[in-house]
Amino acid sequence: MLLQRLKPPRETAQIRPLPARRSPMILVASIGLTALGALLAWQVYGIAGHRTPVLIMVRDVPIGQHLAAQDLRTVALGLDPGVQALEATEKGVVIGKRAAVDLKAGGLLSGTQVTDALVPAPGETIVPVALKPSRLPARGIQSGDQITVTAAQASATPPVDHTARVDRVGPVDADGLVVVDLIVPASNGTALARQAADGEIALVLRSRAG
């Protein structure tokens, strides 16, 4: 009896709680976020690691002016595939061409911003006409389209039609008008400008098949 009393009491076994189970949806979401983060990091690293020598403008060059070697500089940039830019290897081809738009210092140079042609060419002039959208073809017009400018309403004087080529089409302005730059022979420029000032003209789109 004495020996039994001297025996230390047995420790009661402690039951450890089972680890909480994670929800399958949370596990899937965690894996997805991890994969997305890895993909984004890989894309950023790939763009930053692949640097392409491209041409940028060193100084402003207005539209129509020739590009010279001192107007351009080569820099290596990591560009998104959707960015249009001329590579440094094309510098020799670009020099001597004309600016198709106003080029600003620090901007990337793309192929659409240079041209061999001077607009307007000798013997031509550009006449801006402001028109209501209803005076334009519903399918729209674009640079290079051949059109006929005709009187939209009858008048006392016989209407004079003008053949023209579209240079640019502006957006609808605050007055609800669309400004279209038309290239016409210099001899017809003044007459077309006067007709356009009256606002009674419409544009007829000719076949794009030539």
- Residue 3: what pLDDT? 47
- Residue 86: what pLDDT? 81
Tell me the pTM: 0.55
Distance between terminal CA atoms of the chain? 121
Rounded CA gap, 115 and 64, in Å?
A: 9
Q: Which domains does the chain have, with CATH numbers?
A: 52-115 (3.90.1210.10), 124-205 (2.40.30)
Chunk the chain into consecutive blocks of 10 residues (it has 210) and report each block's average pLDDT, rounded to whole numbers: 52 55 63 66 55 87 89 82 78 89 88 84 91 88 90 67 90 90 93 83 82
- Residue 40: what pLDDT? 65
- Residue 111: what pLDDT? 86
- Residue 165: what pLDDT? 92
Which helix (H) or strand (E) covers residue 127, if one does?
Answer: strand 124-131
CA angle 166, 167, 171 (to 5 degrees): 90
**Number of CB atoms found within 10 A of residue 136's CB:** 17
